[in-house]
A and B are shown apart, each in its own frame.
Chain A
Amino acid sequence: MNSTLRQGRRRPAAKVPLGLMIVGAVFALGFLAVNAAIGYVVIDGRLDGQWYDIRDLGIAVEELKVQLDAINDDQPSFLDDIVGQHWMSYAVGALLGAIGILSFIGGALLALIWIERRLIGRMQIRRGPNRVGPYGLLQPVADAVKLIQKEVLMPDGADRILFLLPPAIIFVPMMAAWGPVPWAPQMAYLDINVGVLYLIAVSSLTTLAVFLAGWASNNHYALLGSMRTVAMMISYEIPLSIALLSVVLITGSMQLSEIVQWQADHNLWLAALLPIAMLTYFFSSTAELNRTPNDIAEAESEIVAGFHTEYSGMKFGLFYAVELGNALLVATLVATFFLGGWSLFGLEEWIPGYLILFAKLSAAYFVLVWLRGTLPRFRLDQLMRFAWQYLIPLSLFNLIIVAVEASLLARWDAPGLVSLGLFTIVNWGAAYILFRDWARRIGYQPDAGGPRRAELTQQVGGIEAAHRMGTAT
């Protein structure tokens, strides 16, 4: 027996080595120095608008496209007549953007698996992955290799095509939804003017793949999971859309870059101005994402893994990756819509916008992980009730308030500090009153169901004693 066990003591927790701390500090200082240098050079005006301005990689791509267009004009191609004048710059721009987004998501997914497991480990007073590579950093790689090696099993009686299709098609909406995200002022892959509409449309496509997977698996658990998903998606799309509608109303645009620009211009995050919309959006998103406390579609303790119960190997890996990717997407959208996107009160002049966005989305992602590490799960009917009786009326009230505020904002010529400050106070007051009173209105009683402490007694007995104590039911 180990002598430490004998003494009933624990080994002291391993300390972060000094060398690593120094390396980390050097990196952090270097990061700050580089940023400061970029900021200085840019403000100085010497490199303004040049393609190597790394605050905004979009500028570099634009520069490249201009050059390509020039070449295209010099040497016309026979394709110009068929696909348009500047097809080359479109193709190159699209490829670069797609590769950029793909590599970001791919890298982020691998990192996120590690981060999430480490974080959850910390929350659960254990260490998380720490064996493969330094600090377990290679664990996601090892997992991926394992998943690729594993056999993909198909249940007897499953519809072959429909079974193999969903892991592939579920990837499409997840990737497509990254299009309109503005990473920096010029750095959006698909800066369309109906960005919000596009996002809602694309993200609800996931449901189809999930339903397909559940249906084709020929398994009751999978079917239950997919039915739950569909029920939940239908319910939670509504408060989610209404919450985004209030954002659209107040900023006057459906273009994501415009929404961020509005927040940058007014130096106000929409999370502060629209607390109800923010909370509704966040909660509805967790429902759409199948994450705790709303992970009923793959509720482990009830229906094993829900719609992907029967998937193994990389087919399961794809579902898992999409789930993480969607979580990352929601964190990004929360950061974009409500936390000011790439803007940071003028600091975006100094720090690249995509790094600011990354910091914000990491914060939002941390909240998702935190919820997962803390809360139990709702029941399906409770979630449905919560959506239809609570979130939808609340977000409708919020929409009315915001509509009034938006029309006032259009007519009232007060300085932003006065009008928006006033609206912020009004909205927070409304949020407090609505969240509290609407819960009571739909029948929630904080102290319902009797005391939350067991009765204590010294006297044993049976049913008579129970009646005497008043505890018999």
Chain B
Amino acid sequence: MTTATEPYVLNIGPQHPSTHGVFRLRVVMDGERIQDMDMVVGYLHRSMEKLAEERTYTQNIPFTDRADYLAAMSGNLGYCLAVEMLSGVEVPERASYLRVIFAELQRIASHSMANGTFVNDAGAWQTPLMYMFRERERILDLFEMTGGARLTTNYMRIGGVAFDPPPEFFPAIESLVSDLPDRIDEYAELLIDNEILLARSRGVGTITAEDAINGSLSGPMLRGSGVPWDLRKAEPYCVYDRMDFDIPVGRNGDAYDRFLVRLEEVRQSTKIIQQALDALPAGPHKTDTPLALRPEPGEAYGRVEGPRGELGFYVVSDGGSAPFRFHIRAPSLINLSLLREMAIGASLPDAIVALGSVDIVVGEIDR
């Protein structure tokens, strides 16, 4: 006797513990197996790209905080680089170093969050997340100390950074950087050899290197699939060409490899911060730029290696004080290009783990 089964539609989200925001997956399931998947986004669409066409170049910096709100510094940096490219504003050396320091701090904070929530999606009851929050909290304290804001920092400016860090910033960051390697070892001890985590994430959401490149993936998704591509090395911006660090690369392209890559990137970021702190030159932290910048007509595509991947800003000027077109290349959105391929045929828990390993930020998907 055979039992007839009937596929049914399951709405995962928009309010669901594992969608990390208002993000919705419509899943056609047969029992626990996913037959088809469609993602529904836009619940957080704030029309930033249109709004930016009405504001001056400087006024647009806060938008970049609120796109990827877990990596505001990287957003700031990418946008400022694009506008500097467009307008030819020079950046003082100290500002470049400070930008590297803050972008890497942000990467550590964001990756901590990503790994914590990833293990949460695999079923851990908040513990790894709380451990990772410990370091993130110290980093956010550093942000608060320097720029006054913790999450939406609005710290970088066209031509430098908004504030020079206060004197007490340096002992705090030194102690953070000296603590971090031990802390990362602690997480590694807790998680890397955890049999349950291995069973849950090995071979889940596998993407081949070819597919990853062809599917426009970037960041840890791409590196997890084995492609050694990192914009900090490939197209060094700021002072990354003077830093000594490695690119972590996965072997299998599965969720576990992405987790490993993120964990290792935290270690490398610590190295970069240490080097940048050692080499931090004196001097101004900002060049004076006109409040209403009017770049020559033209276009620029500034991009940085954000925590989630290639964070690009395509800015077109028509000579006015507001950008003619402002486009954010959102890695969170584009990394989802292959989500359907990853999910179809997988079971529901596997799909959740795969989604967790993509590390989406819905603010950036919807913008």
Contact = CB atoms under 8 A, between A and B. Distances in A.
Interface string A452-471: 11111111111101100111
A220 B8 contact: yes
Contacts of A124: 126-127, 130-131
A6 B166 contact: yes
B86 interface: no
Interface in A266-289: none
A465 to B, nearest CB: 5
Contacts of B196: 293, 375-378
A6 B143 CA distance: 10
B204 to A, nearest CB: 9
Nearest to A294: B123
B163 to A, nearest CB: 13
Interface-centre pick from A221, A304, A375, A473 (highest chain B CB count, 10 A) = A473
Interface in B85-114: none
Nearest to A124: B130
Interface string B197-209: 1111011001011
A379 B125 contact: no
Interface in B123-172: 123-127, 130-131, 134, 138, 141-142, 144-145, 148, 166, 168-169, 171-172
B172 A465 contact: no
Interface string A304-315: 100000000000
A301 B247 contact: no
A449 B123 contact: no
B65 interface: no
Interface in A355-385: 372-382
A8 interface: yes
B18 to A, nearest CB: 4
B233 interface: yes
B229 A461 contact: yes
A299 B176 CA distance: 35
B225 interface: yes
Contacts of A295: 123
A301 B228 contact: no
Given A8-B145, A456-B249, A460-B234, A472 B193 contact: no
Given A8-B168, A302-B349, A462-B229, A449 B141 contact: no
A7 interface: yes
A458 B234 CA distance: 10
Contacts of B148: 1
Nearest to A472: B209
Contacts of B123: 292-293, 295, 299, 301, 375-378
Nearest to A446: B195
A473 B209 CA distance: 6
A469 B228 contact: yes
Contacts of B210: 463, 472
A302 B199 contact: no
Given A8-B175, A469-B226, A376 B200 contact: yes
Interface stretch (B66-74, B256-264, B284-292): B256-264
A459 B228 contact: yes
B121 interface: yes
B53 interface: no
Contacts of A292: 123-125
Contact of B127 (A123, A451, A454, A470): A123
B217 interface: no
B241 interface: no
A465 B10 CA distance: 41
Contacts of B200: 376-379, 382
B131 A125 contact: yes
Nearest to A228: B32
A376 B349 contact: no
A472 B246 CA distance: 18
B250 A304 contact: no
B361 to A, nearest CB: 17
A189 B131 CA distance: 45
B119 interface: yes
Contacts of B229: 460-462
A379 B168 contact: no
B253 interface: yes
Contact of B250 (A1, A8, A373, A455): A455
A295 B228 CA distance: 38
A460 B247 contact: yes
B199 A6 contact: no
Contact of B130 (A126, A300, A469): A126
A455 B130 contact: no
Contacts of B175: 8
A458 B248 CA distance: 9
A69 B213 CA distance: 86
A418 interface: no
B251 interface: yes
B347 interface: yes
A452 B192 contact: yes
A303 B16 CA distance: 9
B362 interface: no
A452 B193 contact: yes
Interface string B261-274: 10110000000000
Contacts of A134: none
Given A120-B125, A472-B209, A473-B226, A455 B249 contact: yes
A57 B193 CA distance: 49
A291 to B, nearest CB: 9
A197 B143 CA distance: 62
Contact of A375 (B126, B194, B213, B260): B194
A302 B197 CA distance: 15
B336 interface: no
A376 B192 contact: no
A45 interface: no
A380 B141 CA distance: 41
Contacts of B190: 374
Contact of A463 (B121, B134, B197, B209): B209
25 contacts: A8-B142, A120-B125, A124-B130, A220-B8, A221-B10, A299-B123, A299-B349, A304-B17, A374-B124, A376-B122, A377-B122, A448-B202, A449-B252, A454-B223, A456-B248, A458-B246, A458-B247, A460-B228, A460-B234, A461-B227, A461-B229, A462-B229, A463-B210, A472-B208, A472-B226
The 7 A-B residue pairs whose C-beta atoms are closest, nearest first, are A377-B123, A8-B172, A471-B226, A454-B248, A124-B130, A456-B246, A472-B209
Given A379-B199, A469-B226, 18 more contacts: A8-B142, A8-B175, A124-B131, A125-B134, A301-B356, A304-B17, A372-B125, A373-B125, A374-B190, A376-B119, A377-B349, A452-B193, A455-B248, A459-B247, A461-B229, A463-B227, A469-B228, A472-B225
